Amino acid sequence: MGNQVVPCLIEKITDITEMDDPRQAPAMGKVKVGDVALWVVLDITGLPYDDMFPPDVRKRLTTEGVYAYFEWVKSSKHRKLLQQNVRAWYSRNHG
């Protein structure tokens, strides 16, 4: 379904319902529905992942990788900010 599902996936970024991590590595055990929604948006759109985060998180991503992401999105306000950033990017680039 490609881009047709992206708006729905963006709405799910703040969903903190736990699910099994579908990735091969690095497996985290349980992840949130919102994490998987973001990863699918990345796959579909080519979203510039690092650009969605504040500068301090971007810097941490270079050294800590996905673990910096998981630490940052523990805060619901950070998930909401991520959702807003992804929504704005999508609107500008695929609106």
pLDDT in tens, 47-65: 999 999 999 999 999 999 9
pTM of the predicted protein model:
0.89
Torsion on CA atoms 40, 45, 46, 48, rounded to nearest 10: -90
pLDDT confidence of 28, banded at 50, 70, 90?
Answer: low
User: Using CA atoms, how far apart are residues 54 and 82, in angstroms rounded to an integer?
Assistant: 9
Q: What is the pLDDT of residue 76?
A: 95
Alpha carbon 31 to chain centroid, angstroms: 11
Could you count the other beta carbons within 10 Å of the beta carbon of residue 80? 13
pLDDT confidence of 80, banded at 50, 70, 90?
Answer: very high
